């Protein structure tokens, strides 16, 4: 469903992706983990050309996204994208947030768009909120609306970029539960996340990125449970037990100075 070959991306002098090769098969769930700045979001954004790769090739299904003649709008219609920020239209009800792109981009009739929107609201457990406005919902509910909106476009695959990291801890579970049902229904999913228990339980494969390369990838129990690479081990120690992270030197200096 996704194939990335020797992908490089630079911003000016900064080489953010330094030769990425990987594949996501249809119906597979792949979680990408790694430290801040390692290039996870950039990788996702190169897949639907929100960023133009510097070199390398990207395929979505049988279409080469990096081909100069690609119909990128057609490719993007097949890809649902869910970000950390929900990006809902504040002046539209939940139902209208789910129907606007269906009507404008897919040219669906109002009744068909409404029917599909309601099906997807039910899928994320928010049928009773169709007439609410985004500001009347919790962050977790807004993120579930964003997922339902992406699903209403009938995507072949879904990309998630830290979909729960802006949420209060008690709201994370509902969003992960929705993602779990999507995975169970056979959706192809590429998920950047710091939720290690989700990655361990739901992912078919975990990819660990650091410094713009894939350092390690494989079965979740192996990568998270018995990482082979020292960089993976250091990262996981920090994520699983933030209090154990070494104190940055600047902090030590300040403490000693007082
Ligand atoms: N549009 C841009 N212009 C310049 N530099 C950028 C741009 N987008 C990203 N970068 C830089 O590329 C590097 C990788 O960023 P990216 O957002 O892909 O990291 P990430 O792994 O998603 O990190 P995080 O976990 O914090 O979201 C960072 O150093 C970032 O500052
Ligand atoms: Mg990111």
pLDDT tens track for 126-168: 999 999 999 999 999 999 999 999 999 999 999 999 999 888 8
Average pLDDT over all residues of the chain: 92
Among 11, 44, 47, 166, say which to mutate for ligand 1: greatest number of ligand atoms within 8 Å of CB. 11
Here the contacts of 112-119 (C-beta below 8 Å, separation 24 or greater) are 113/152, 116/152, 116/154, 117/148, 117/152
**CA 24 to centroid of ligand 2, rounded, Å:** 19
Answer whether 36 contacts ligand 1 (Cβ < 6 A): yes
- 57-98 tens-digit pLDDT: 999 999 999 999 999 988 988 999 999 888 899 999 999 999
Ligand located closest to 16 CA: 1
Please identify, by atom number, the ligand 1 atom nearest to the C-alpha of residue 162: 27
Phi then psi for residue 9, to 5 deg, are -145, 125
Instruction: Give yes or no for a contact between 147 and 178, defined as CB atoms under 8 angstroms apart.
Output: yes
For 47, other C-beta atoms within 10 Å of its C-beta total 24
Q: Residue 119: is its pLDDT beyond 90? A: yes
pLDDT exceeds 80 at position 246: no
Of the ranges 13-17, 39-43, 169-173, 208-212, which one carries the lowest mean pLDDT score? 169-173
Taking 60 as the threshold, does the pLDDT of residue 258 lie above it?
Answer: no
* Closest ligand by atom to 20 CA: 1
Give CB contacts under 8 A, 24+ apart, made by 176-182: 178/123, 178/124, 178/125, 178/144, 178/147, 179/147, 181/123, 182/147, 182/151, 182/158
How much is the pLDDT for 245? 65
pLDDT at 124 over 70: yes
Q: Give 226-239 pLDDT, tens digit per residue.
A: 999 999 999 999 88
Q: Is the dihedral of CA 227, 231, 232, 238 positive or negative?
A: positive
On the question of pLDDT at 32 being above 70, the answer is yes
Distance 36 CA to ligand 2 centre (A): 7
Instruction: Output the pTM of the full model.
Output: 0.91
Do residues 94 and 132 lie in contact, with contact meaning Cβ atoms separated by under 8 Å? yes
Band (169; pLDDT cuts 50, 70, 90)? confident
b/e per residue 160-198 (b: at least 16 CB within 10 A)? bbbbbebbeeebbebbbebbeebbeeebbbbbbbebbeb
Backbone angles phi, psi at 14, to 5 degrees: -90, 115
Q: Is 42 in the pocket of ligand 1 (CB under 6 A)?
A: yes
């Amino acid at each position: 469903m996704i194939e990335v070959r020797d992908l490089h991306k630079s911003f000016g002098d900064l080489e953010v992706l330094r030769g990425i090769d990987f594949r996501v098969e249809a119906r597979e769930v792949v979680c990408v983990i790694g430290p801040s700045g390692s290039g996870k979001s950039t990788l996702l954004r190169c897949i639907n050309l929100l960023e133009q790769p510097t070199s390398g090739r990207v395929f979505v299904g049988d279409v080469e996204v990096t081909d100069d003649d690609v119909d990128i709008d057609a490719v993007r219609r097949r890809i649902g994208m869910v970000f950390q920020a929900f990006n809902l239209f504040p002046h539209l009800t939940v139902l209208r947030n789910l129907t606007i792109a269906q009507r404008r981009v897919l040219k669906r009739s109002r009744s068909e768009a409404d029917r599909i929107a309601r099906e997807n609201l039910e899928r994320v457990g928010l049928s009773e909120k169709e007439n609410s406005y985004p500001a009347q919902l919790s962050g977790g509910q807004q993120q579930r609306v964003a997922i339902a909106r992406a699903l209403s476009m009938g995507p072949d695959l879904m990309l998630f970029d830290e979909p729960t990291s802006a949420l209060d801890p008690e709201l994370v579970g509902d969003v992960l539960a929705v993602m779990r049902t999507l995975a169970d229904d056979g959706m192809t999913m590429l998920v950047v996340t710091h939720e290690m228990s989700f990655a361990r339980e739901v992912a078919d494969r975990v990819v660990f990125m650091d410094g713009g390369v894939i350092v390690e990838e494989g079965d979740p129990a192996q990568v998270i449970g018995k990482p082979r690479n020292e960089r993976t081990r250091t990262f996981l120690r920090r994520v699983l037990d933030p209090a154990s992270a070494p104190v940055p030197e600047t902090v030590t200096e300040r403490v000693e100075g007082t």
